[in-house]
């Protein structure tokens, strides 16, 4: 395993949700607090799009040049070419203290996400976005800081966490959308930090970025730790496999909230890093959007 390499000195306040697009050989990610989506191309060029709200997470779409955005107030489609943003489907409009946080597409092309509450009170729910942009609330306990949403290679297992609880959960996940009973997968100690974003490799291992732990850790399907990769920053946020062979692990990070002394120790905080971990990833599932004429812009329970 090679040491972590700084790929982009992004200085993100809260870098998150890296996604590799195999069609364009590019990596996308968001700076939540900066309200931007950035794209790193194979030639090293970086382009950023500024959105009207914070982007907690997003998904590549199956067709066209669209992204499905998890904006602070709701979900919307964004066209990278025209920079057109569709009407926003509101989520938890009755909870002004929450915003959309981590999310990933399941193997059927539906986007699953959870919420964030700065007060760390477990009031935000988990949701699933259907092709017509209908937003369905999932029957899971509310969370304060939803993270680590990922799906096994066969799509039959879903992972997630409420970061302050330092536990990653797993549950059976049906192709029809049915949910099993959550059970503990991994518990972190106080010394290890907090479970943040995750991704899955081709062997079914879960890679988790550990906020305040300064590392990314791999757990096999049984929950046993099999690798621990150090980073030169204390707040890695989310990993993603990319590159032509899906054998490069990209990791976003954050610099927001670090004091001057911490930033002196971590000058690369907020950067985008890469590692060569010795495992290969999976092609990211894409959101399968309905045609424009059949989209719905009202949230249903």
3-state secondary structure of 252: strand
> What is the mean predicted confidence (pLDDT) over 142-164?
98
Domains along the chain with CATH numbers? 5-294 (2.120.10.30)
**Structure confidence at residue 63 as a pLDDT band (50, 70, 90):** confident
Q: How far is CA 25 from CA 57, 59, 242, in A?
A: 20, 16, 8
Q: Is 158 in contact with 127 (CB distance < 8 Å)?
A: no
Q: Which helix (H) or strand (E) holds 77?
A: strand 74-79
Query: Are the beta carbons of 273 and 5 closer than 8 angstroms?
Result: yes
Question: Does 194 have pLDDT greater than 50?
Answer: yes
Residue 263 dihedral angles phi and psi, to the nearest 5°? -70, -30
The widest CA-to-CA distance across the chain, in whole angstroms, is: 54
Average pLDDT over every residue of 209-235: 98
Q: Are strands 194-200 and 98-105 parallel, antiparallel or unpaired?
A: unpaired
Share of the chain above pLDDT 70, in %: 96
In this predicted structure, the answer to whether residue 1 has a pLDDT above a threshold of 90 is no
State how far the Cα of 213 lies from the Cα of 143, in Å rounded to an integer. Answer: 21
What pLDDT is stored for residue 290 in this prediction?
Answer: 83
- C-alpha span between 236 and 216 (Å, rounded): 8
Reported as a single tens digit per residue, the pLDDT across 238-266 is 999 999 999 999 999 999 999 999 999 99
* Nearest in space to 233 (alpha carbons), one of 188, 266, 196: 266
pTM: 0.95
The better pLDDT of the pair 251, 295 is held by 251
The Cα–Cα gap between 58 and 217 comes to 23
Q: Is the pLDDT of residue 207 over 90?
A: yes
Nearest to 213 by CA among 192, 182, 183: 192
Phi, psi for residue 188 in degrees, rounded to 5: -95, 145
The pLDDT assigned to 291 comes to 66
Give the separation between CA 92 and CA 100, rounded to whole angstroms: 9
- What is the reported pLDDT for 301? 35
Q: Which residues contact 114 (CB under 8 A, 6 or more apart)?
A: 100, 101, 102, 103, 124, 125, 126, 127, 143, 146, 147, 149, 160
Looking at residue 297, its pLDDT comes to: 53
Average pLDDT over residues 223-239: 98
Whether residue 149 has pLDDT greater than 70: yes
pLDDT recorded at residue 300: 37
At 296, the pLDDT band (50, 70, 90 cuts) reads low
Q: What is the spatial distance between Cα 250 and Cα 273, in angstroms, rounded to a whole number?
A: 6
Pairwise CA distance, residues 258 & 235, whole Å: 9
């Amino acid at each position: 395993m090679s040491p972590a390499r700084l790929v982009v000195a992004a200085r993100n306040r809260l870098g998150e949700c890296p996604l590799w697009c195999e069609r364009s050989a590019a990596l996308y990610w968001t700076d939540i607090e900066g309200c931007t989506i950035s794209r790193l191309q194979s030639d090293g060029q970086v382009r950023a799009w500024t959105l009207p709200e914070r982007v907690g997470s997003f998904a590549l779409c199956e067709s066209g040049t669209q992204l499905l955005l998890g904006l602070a107030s709701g979900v919307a489609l964004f066209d990278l070419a025209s920079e057109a943003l569709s009407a926003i489907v509101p989520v938890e409009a009755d909870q002004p203290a929450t915003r959309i946080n981590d999310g990933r597409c399941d193997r059927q092309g539906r986007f699953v996400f959870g919420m964030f509450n700065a007060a760390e009170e477990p009031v935000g729910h988990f949701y699933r976005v259907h092709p017509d942009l209908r937003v369905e609330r999932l029957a899971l306990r509310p969370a304060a800081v939803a993270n680590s949403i990922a799906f096994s290679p066969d799509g039959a297992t879903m992972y997630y966490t409420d970061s302050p609880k330092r536990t990653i959960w797993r549950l059976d996940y049906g192709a029809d959308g049915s949910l099993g009973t959550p059970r503990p997968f991994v518990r972190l100690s106080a010394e290890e930090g907090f479970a943040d974003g995750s991704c899955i490799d081709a062997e079914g291992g879960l890679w988790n970025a550990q906020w305040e732990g300064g590392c990314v850790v791999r757990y096999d399907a049984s929950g046993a730790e099999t690798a621990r990769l150090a980073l030169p920053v204390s707040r890695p946020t989310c990993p993603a496999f990319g590159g032509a062979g899906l054998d490069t692990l990209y990791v976003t990070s954050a610099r927001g909230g670090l004091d001057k002394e911490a930033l002196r120790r971590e000058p690369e905080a907020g950067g985008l890093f890469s590692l060569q971990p010795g495992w290969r990833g999976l092609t990211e599932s894409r959101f399968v959007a309905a045609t424009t004429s059949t989209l719905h812009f009202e949230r249903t329970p």
